[in-house]
Amino acid sequence: MYGADYLIAQAANGLVVGCLYALMAVGLTLIFSVLKVINFAHGEFYMVGGYTAYYMVTVLGGLHPLLGIFFAMIVLLGLGSLFEVAFLRPIHLGAVNRPAEYAILITFGLSFFLQNLVLSLAGPFPHRSPSFMSGGLTVGPVTISADRLIAAGLALVLMIALMLFIRATWTGKAMRAVSQDRDAAAVSGINPFKMNNIAFGIGASLAGASGALIAPIFAVVPDVGVLPSLRSFVIVVLGGMGSVKGALIGGVAIGLVESLGAALIPDPSRALAYRELYGLVIFVLVLLFRPQGLFGEKQ
């Protein structure tokens, strides 16, 4: 059995990682709430974010790692907006047949495309961004590296900024209006297409930010986004599709479940591998028993 110290350390770790999970999931849920599209390329936005930060910092010469995150967000904002205009707008214009199937396929197609593009350009080998800061913080039995603390802190800052943006600015309110009723928002003088574009861009850039924040902690490879995107689906379903608050709480909850759940399996290699399965089990249970999620509204 594990001692209390171990469990506390795991819980602290789970909390920190959970903030990063939450950041990615918030992007996914934002996209869903405004566009009503599940973005199957979210993991690849995360992956591209990680690579962008890596190349900005190492290859293109000595940017501060924190600036790398900023660049990753800008790149993903552009990529997301472009993709939205070119491939998602037709859904809302009513220009494609079978729009629900199309939305899954086109975002999934993008994920396939990006993964192989990065594989072709950067090769299959892992790249690790330089640290934000060396050292760590030790409180009692718990030691957390500075990189993780900074990443989690920045994730929280970004999420709070997003919430303020949604609550306080005109654009944020307009986005909420579109998410609640597209047509009503449109007749009130809001351009729903513009809101789609902004929401998708921001959602993508949040995924990119979480990839860039994690790049110094875990290395990036072309398929690094697969598991995080699955995890984001779990979090968003758990928190309730379209609920930003739900995604935040869900992210932290999944972080904790994965870290503490690892303590349930004695064999360490299995514990590591099956960490991912806990999320999947929660996913199925939520879908079966509370499909609107913990914080979502019943349809």
Partner 1 sequence: MKARHFPVRKILFFSAIVLLGALLPLAVSSSYWLHVLAMAYFYGLVAATWSFLDGYAGQFSFGNIALVMIAGYTSGLLGEYTGLPLLLRIVAGIAMSGLVGLVIGALCLRFKGAYLSLFTIAFAEAVRLIINTEHRFTRGPCGLRVDGFFDTTSQVPYYYLMFGILVVSIFVMYRMLRSKWGLFFRAIREDEDAASALGVNVVRYKITAFVVTSMFCGVAGVFYAHFNRMLAPNFGQITTMGLIIGMAVIGGVENLVAAAMGGVLLQFGLEGLRDLGAWRLVVFGALLMIVLRFARNGLLAPLYRKLMGEEL
Cα separation of 167 and 169, whole Å?
Answer: 6
Q: Which class for 267: exposed (0-12), middle (13-18), buried (19 or more C-beta within 10 A)?
A: exposed
Region 35-54 residues binding partner 1, contact defined as CB under 8 A: 38, 40
Which of 5, 62, 116, 153 lies at the binding interface for partner 1 (CB under 8 A)? 116
Q: Should residue 193 be labelled a site residue for partner 1 when binding is judged by CB under 8 A? A: no
Alpha-carbon dihedral sign for residues 19, 33, 72, 198: negative
Q: Should residue 76 be labelled a site residue for partner 1 when binding is judged by CB under 8 A? A: no
Which of 227, 264, 285, 297 lies at the binding interface for partner 1 (CB under 8 A)? 227
Q: Should residue 218 be labelled a site residue for partner 1 when binding is judged by CB under 8 A? A: no
Region 144-183 residues binding partner 1, contact defined as CB under 8 A: none
* Nearest distance, CB of residue 41 and partner 1, angstroms: 11
| Residues whose CB is less than 8 angstroms from the CB of residue 189 and which lie 6 or more positions away in sequence, other chains included | none
Q: Should residue 283 be labelled a site residue for partner 1 when binding is judged by CB under 8 A? A: yes
- Three-state secondary structure along 165-192? HHHHCHHHHHHHHHHHCHHHHHHCCCCH
Cα separation of 33 and 16, whole Å?
Answer: 26
Which of 3, 94, 97, 189 lies at the binding interface for partner 1 (CB under 8 A)? 97
| Residues whose CB is less than 8 angstroms from the CB of residue 197 and which lie 6 or more positions away in sequence, other chains included | 81, 84, 85
Task: List residues binding partner 1 (CB under 8 A).
Answer: 38, 40, 86-87, 90, 96-98, 100-106, 108-117, 119-120, 223, 226-227, 230, 233-234, 237, 269-270, 273-274, 276-277, 280, 283-284, 287-288, 291
